[in-house]
């Protein structure tokens, strides 16, 4: 679970590989991530006015054949939701939905150590807003063509998809002590990935060896993630590839603190006020590098 652009793809790969591919010998690892790890609410992002990305749809439908029994039983338009429901277990499901839009008993439904419920990753808002701006320019679903000033305004006014980030993170923060909930940040993952994987290993009950930790670090490294960026398999039907070729695809920089070179003093002041109101006053602090 993440608010968008908080390290979702990276953390998905980490969790999926820890649970399914610690020895790097699982052929399913070659499947696209959105097939191995279904996106719970993807169906809501279908826009009738947009042309169907036939290539991506074909990849998805072909890929899920081995994960979902009775594929012909899928009905209607909520295909992604049905795939998430029918997927092989243990499932690693992605969602950007906040707790208030998920079952109230979500964290109490998993009792077995190997089936812990929720891993939540947050990110400092200043890097998050820049990553989101790139995504909104890249994806034709959003097709943002405005200025950075305009995008920062949309961000602090909570007008982006899945907003408000403040409420999203506060709902997670209030559950941080629940035994079926693991909470970390993009910055902590970057600063000491192995330490965070060790904590995650204890939470998931995966019992990794030192060699398996090395394997996970290697297969989820920034370089490896860039090489297998799932965006490279898609086409211009859904994405503005001029933006992708200029600024990068889903996996771009893999760093914390890039906001310092790109956020103007005026934008920074707006973000500071918004952060104080939504987080600092609630006891939530961020690392900005």
Query: 181 is in which domain, residue-wise?
Result: 8-282
pTM over 0.85: yes
In a domain, 287, yes or no: no
Show contacts of 154-159: CB within 8 Å, 24+ apart. 155/125, 155/129, 155/271, 155/274, 156/270, 156/271, 156/273, 156/274
| C-alpha–C-alpha distance, residues 142 and 63, integer Å | 26
Measured CA to CA in angstroms, residue 234 lies from 81, 161, 163, 230, 241 at distances of 21, 22, 27, 7, 10
* Within-domain flag for 217: yes
How many structural domains compose the chain?
1
Look at residue 289 and tell me if it is in a domain.
no
What is the tens place of the pLDDT at every residue in 66-77? Answer: 887 777 766 666
Eight-class DSSP state of 122: E
- Dump pLDDT digits (tens) for 182-200: 999 999 999 999 999 999 9
**Residue 138 domain-assigned (yes or no):** yes
Distances (CA, A) of 286 to 116, 121, 151, 167: 26, 12, 21, 16
Provide the pLDDT for residue 62. 76
Q: What is the CATH number of the domain that holds 126?
A: 3.40.50.300
146 lies in some domain: yes
Q: What is the mean pLDDT of residues 98-122?
A: 85
What is the number of other CB atoms lying within 10 angstroms of the CB of residue 201?
17
Count of Cβ atoms closer than 10 Å to residue 205 Cβ: 12
Can you give the pLDDT at residue 178?
95
Tokens of 90: 């243990």
287 vs 285: CA distance, rounded Å: 7
Alpha-carbon separation of residue 95 from 37, 206, 214 (angstroms): 10, 22, 27
Considering the domain boundaries, does residue 84 fall inside one?
A: yes
Cα separation, 155 vs 108, whole angstroms: 33
Are 55 and 234 within 8 A, CB to CB?
A: yes
Does 51 fall in a domain?
yes
User: Phi/psi class of residue 74: alpha, beta or left (left: φ > 0; alpha: ψ in -120 to 50)?
Assistant: beta
Question: Of all residues in the chain, what percent carry a pLDDT higher than 90?
Answer: 59
Q: Could you tell me if residue 2 is inside a domain?
A: no
- Is a pLDDT exceeding 90 seen at residue 99? yes
């Amino acid at each position: 679970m993440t608010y968008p652009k908080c390290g979702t793809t990276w953390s998905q790969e980490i969790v999926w590989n820890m649970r399914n591919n610690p020895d790097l010998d699982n052929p399913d690892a070659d499947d696209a991530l959105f097939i191995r790890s279904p996106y719970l609410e993807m169906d809501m992002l279908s826009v009738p006015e947009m042309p169907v990305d036939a290539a991506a749809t074909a990849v998805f439908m072909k890929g899920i054949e081995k994960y979902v029994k009775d594929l012909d039983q899928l009905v209607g338009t909520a295909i992604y939701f049905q795939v998430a429901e029918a997927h092989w277990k243990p499932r690693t499901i992605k969602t950007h939905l906040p707790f208030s839009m998920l079952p109230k008993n979500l964290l109490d439904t998993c009792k077995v150590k190997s089936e812990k419920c929720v891993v939540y990753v947050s990110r400092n808002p200043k890097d998050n807003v820049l990553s989101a701006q790139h995504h909104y320019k890249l994806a034709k679903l959003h097709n943002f063509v405005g200025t950075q000033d305009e995008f920062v305004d949309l961000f602090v006014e909570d007008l982006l998809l899945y907003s408000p980030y403040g409420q999203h993170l506060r709902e997670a923060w209030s559950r941080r002590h629940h035994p079926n909930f693991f909470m970390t940040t993009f910055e902590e993952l970057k600063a000491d990935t192995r330490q965070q994987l060790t904590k995650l290993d204890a939470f998931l009950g995966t019992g990794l060896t030192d060699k398996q930790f090395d394997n996970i670090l290697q297969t989820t490294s920034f370089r490896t993630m860039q090489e297998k960026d799932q965006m490279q398999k898609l086409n211009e039907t859904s994405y503005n590839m001029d933006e992708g070729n200029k600024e990068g695809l889903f996996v771009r920089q893999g760093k914390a603190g890039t906001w310092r070179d790109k956020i103007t003093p005026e934008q920074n002041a707006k973000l500071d006020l918004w952060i104080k109101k939504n987080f600092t006053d609630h006891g939530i602090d961020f690392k900005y590098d």
